[in-house]
């Protein structure tokens, strides 16, 4: 039997909107940016072992030994990626009263011809699933909002402006509000999340708060036990 999601808090004190991306894995309304996980060493190792496998005689003992090494490389990649996503989702579920994210059409993204987009989309799907589950476990309200226009819309005045992907800054021609592209999107996500659950908009606008200065957090620090940055910000929130 499915459990009902937790009721949204009447006056949530700690709310966050999260924008996920490729250049930065996550950018939230508190100014924290988390870099994408660097698995280049693991992928290079996998490619080396795959090349070795291609030179073995199929069905031989050496082929089977090498096949197991390739399988171990695949498992290592999956384990490290999932460990990162577990700890990041733990952080948000335990640190906040309400978490707002985009209700992404991940299936459509996975059908994109771009390999980097495919890889990122798969990780986003896992992250959002883990985040939703852990928010339910922690009693944190999870809300997925319509993603349409979150990047284009100005978080200060609501005017939409077209932006090609390579433009990484938001600069509103109507009100002059300027911010990082992903920070602007995160504010829109939070605003829509609060509206969807009937909490209402925050009395503070991004302009009034001047948007908190970005605090870069590398993905490596998320997965490393005892990371000073995440320890200071989350205490035990990154542990299972």
| Catalytic member of 102, 132, 138, 153 | 102
The secondary element (H helix, E strand) that includes residue 183 is helix 181-196
Q: Is 102 a catalytic residue?
A: yes
| Catalytic member of 97, 153, 180, 182 | 182
Strand pairing report for 24-28 and 32-35: antiparallel
Q: How far apart are CA 212 and CA 106, in angstroms?
A: 29
Q: How far apart are CA 159 and CA 176, in angstroms?
A: 11
Q: How far apart are CA 14 and CA 175, in angstroms?
A: 28
Beta-carbon-side half-sphere exposure of residue 69 (alpha carbons within 13 Å): 17
Tokens of 27: 């950018």
State CA 46 to chain mean position distance. 25
Q: How far apart are CA 194 and CA 14, in angstroms?
A: 12
| Catalytic member of 19, 49, 95, 180 | 19
Residue 73's DSSP bridge partners are none
Q: Is 19 a catalytic residue?
A: yes
Q: How far apart are CA 183 and CA 141, in angstroms?
A: 21
Q: What is the DSSP letter of 164?
A: -
How many Å from the N-terminal Cα to the C-terminal Cα in the chain?
A: 25
Q: Annotated catalytic sites, by residue? A: 19, 102, 182
């Amino acid at each position: 039997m499915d459990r009902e999601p937790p009721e949204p808090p009447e006056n949530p004190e700690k709310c966050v909107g999260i924008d996920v991306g490729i250049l930065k894995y996550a950018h939230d309304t508190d100014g924290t940016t988390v870099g994408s996980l660097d698995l280049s060493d693991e992928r290079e190792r996998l490619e080396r072992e795959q090349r070795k496998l291609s030179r073995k005689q199929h069905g031989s003992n050496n082929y089977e030994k090498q096949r197991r090494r390739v399988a171990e490389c695949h498992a290592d990649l999956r384990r490290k990626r999932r460990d990162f996503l577990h700890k990041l989702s733990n952080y948000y579920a335990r640190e906040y009263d309400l978490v707002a994210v985009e209700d992404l059409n991940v299936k459509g993204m996975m059908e994109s011809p771009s390999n980097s987009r495919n890889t990122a989309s798969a990780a986003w799907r896992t992250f959002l699933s883990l985040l939703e589950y852990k928010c339910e476990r922690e009693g944190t309200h999870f809300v997925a909002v319509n993603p349409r226009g979150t990047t284009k819309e100005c978080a200060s005045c609501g005017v939409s402006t077209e932006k090609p992907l390579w433009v990484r800054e938001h600069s509103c021609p109507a009100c002059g509000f300027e911010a990082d592209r992903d920070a602007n999107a995160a504010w829109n996500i939070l605003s829509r999340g609060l509206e969807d659950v009937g909490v209402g908009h925050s009395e503070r606008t991004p302009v009034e708060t001047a948007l908190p200065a970005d605090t870069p957090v590398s993905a490596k620090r998320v997965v490393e036990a005892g990371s000073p940055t995440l320890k200071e910000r989350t205490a035990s929130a990154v542990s299972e």
